[in-house]
Structure 1
Amino acid sequence: MTVKMIAVDMDGTFLNSQQEYDREKFSSLYQQMKQQNVRFVVASGNQYYQLKSFFPEIETELSFVAENGAYVVSEGQEVFTGEIDPEVVQEVLTILANFEQGHIILCGKNSAYVAEDEPTSFIEHVSKYYHRLKKVPSLFEVKEDTLFKFALSFPVEQVAEVLEQLNDALGDKVIPVSSGHGDVDLIIPGVHKAHGLMKLQELWGIQNHEIAAFGDSGNDLEMLKHAGFSYVMSNGQPNVKVAAKEIILSNDENGVLVKIEELLGQ
């Protein structure tokens, strides 16, 4: 058994439908991971400040590949920060103005930003995922931050079509990936979850075949292909199931923790 790093996506994977996890079971498994020198990495499209709130007792011991790899923090120390060229940010915002059904969050190192004319219901919903969220008169005016991701929200039934249109419209300026539930992230080319894991591997001297990765959505694909042991949840997207080596129990059946227990016991 050669797993030295366990990397988990959060929404739809590690977290159940109530945005929770079995804290007691995880705590016991985490102690085993520490004893076996296995690194536990949270790899999510979500904001670092939100992700660490799930692990209040151990956040300074963990590593986070946040914002789909654009912001990597290990044991409280910044390891990597991506940046979208400010001119590209302006170009992308101009293109997005044509997508009337969509809502936009502009994600930066210090905060995420949302236009103040967005519906209150949307702002309340996304504040669960962005613990640092600022309302601004216009996203075009956000200049004082390192910006590394756009998070878009569309009606679920439009996502496939929107992804296609965005791919055509954006070229290779930013890459659209689906992150589940009608959400689409625009990420820096080449900066994805697998890239974030590589940054941590360099720190720790861990090989690809020593990684176990868990995911459910399009933004997990690179990470699942990168890892020697790759697991997709039974509730995962069909195209993601094809990419993983094994389909496991759903996020509402403790799928990740059941598999981690098995991996640690081998």
Structure 2
Amino acid sequence: MNIKLIAVDMDGTFLDDKKNYHQKWFKQLYAVMKAKGVHFVVASGNQYYKLKTIFEDIQDELAYVAENGAYVIDGTEVLFTGEIAPDQVKLIVEKLGQYEEISAVMCGVNGAYVLESASNEFYELMCRYYPRLEKVSTFGQVKDQIFKFSLITPDLAAGGVDKYLPLLMEELKGVVDPVTSGHQCIDLIIPGCHKASGLERLLKRYGVRPDECAAFGDSSNDIEMLKLCKYSYAMENASPEVKAIVNYHTVSNNQHGVLHEISLLLGEPSLLENIEEGKLTAEKQN
């Protein structure tokens, strides 16, 4: 097994349910990755500026496939920025206006935007995911290159994702691709612009083949990436559609499934023994 790149989703995959990870274990694995020339790629639907805060000490050494592939960065170099055409942005905003019960974030290069009419609860929740978040009176006033919308649907009792996903897929067909991203959320992404397309840009840059890559995920927005990589892993907590298309399965995000498998992929079983014997104690992420 000759692994040259490892791509990981964040929420529900690399991070546990409290948004933490085993930092000491990861630091040891990252040192091995650097020594062996293995690239570590953060692949997430989250904002790039949020993802950087997760890996503060090494944030400028990593590669990022952020915003579900719409924003690709290698170290500090921006490789790709997607764009939803302004007329299509206007159409999306009009369609979303039909659903007052859906809360939306509009995502662009310079930051993310929520309406001033949104609830304080929604705004405070989004601040956790978008360090650069601005309130605006209308989405139409925003002057930015837009590449994604993130939506929170009502809870399951009100239909949730199962109700709104097919509606949005029909109404926005050919404009954006609605995909689930976990926790009753839907992302509206540029057609053909997903985690796999972002990862392919990095593979070309590095001269790495898909059969030399491992990827980890849990939600439908990970599927293209998981299909691309030979060593594809679904978390125990992954959705059924993700579990159905991967080549391997691992334990849940709360059991450090990603770090467990990376230890094996890198040929470092001694790190697993240290965990089992309590020689590595988990640190809480700041």
TM-score after normalising by structure 2: 0.92
Shift of 1:216: 0.1
Task: Give the partner amino acid of 1:240.
Answer: V
Residue type at the aligned position of 1:15: L
Find the counterpart in structure 1 of residue 145 from structure 2.
Answer: 146
State the one-letter code of the partner of 1:116: E
Counterparts of 1:41-80 in structure 2, within 5 Å, are: 41-80=41-80
Q: Aligned ranges for residues 93-172 of structure 1 at < 5 Å?
A: 93-142=93-142, 144-157=143-156, 158-172=160-174
1:174–1:189 CA contact under 8 A, matched in 2:
yes
Other structure's SS at 1:28 match: helix
| RMSD value, Cα | 0.8
Letter matched to residue 245 of structure 2: A
Q: Counterparts of 1:158-197 in structure 2 under 5 Å?
A: 158-197=160-199
Q: Residue 18 of structure 1 corresponds to which residue in structure 2?
A: 18
Letter in 2 for 1:173: V
Task: Give the CA deviation at 1:178.
Answer: 0.1
Structure whose CA Rg is larger: 2
Summarize deviations over 1:179-201 as a string: whole Å, max 9, x none.
00011000000000000001101
Q: 2:201 aligned with 1:199, yes or no?
A: yes
Shift of 1:156: 3.7
C-alpha separation in 2, matches of 1:14 and 1:243: 19
Which residue matches 1:91?
Answer: 91
Determine if contact 1:108/1:145 at 8 Å carries over to the other structure.
Answer: yes
- Determine what percentage of the aligned residue pairs are the same residue: 48
Give the drift of 1:246: 1.2
- Secondary structure, aligned partner of 1:83: coil
Question: How many residues get paired?
Answer: 265
CA contact (8 A) 1:174 1:187 kept: yes
Alpha-carbon distance between aligned partners in 1 of 2:187 and 2:141, rounded to the nearest angstrom: 20
SS in 1 for 2:12: helix
**Residue 217 of structure 1 is aligned with which of 216, 219, 244?**
219
**Which residue of the other structure, out of 231, 237, 240, is the alignment partner of 1:238?**
240
- Distance in 1 (CA, whole Å) between partners of 2:212 and 2:164 is 36
Superposed CA offset, 1:7-64 (max 9, x none): 0000000000110000000000000001111000000000000001000100110000
In the aligned structure 1, how far is the partner of 2:11 from the partner of 2:18? Answer: 10
Unaligned runs of 5+ in 1: none
Aligned partner letter, 1:145:
D
CA distance in 1 between counterparts of 2:74 and 2:47 reads 14
Separation in 2, partners of 1:246, 1:140: 45
**Separation (CA, whole Å) in 2 of partners of 1:52 and 1:155:** 29
Runs of 4 or more consecutive aligned structure 1 residues displaced over 2 Å after TM superposition = none
User: In the aligned structure 2, how far is the partner of 1:258 from the partner of 1:109?
Assistant: 34
**3-state SS of 1:12 partner:** coil
Provide the C-alpha distance between the structure 2 equivalents of 1:25 and 1:14, rounded to a whole number of angstroms. 12
Q: Show CA shifts across 1:93-130 (max 9, x none).
A: 10111112100100001000000110001000011000
- The answer to whether the aligner puts 1:251 opposite 2:253 as a matched pair is yes
Alignment-mate amino acid for residue 65 of structure 2: V
Q: CA deviation at 1:140?
A: 2.0
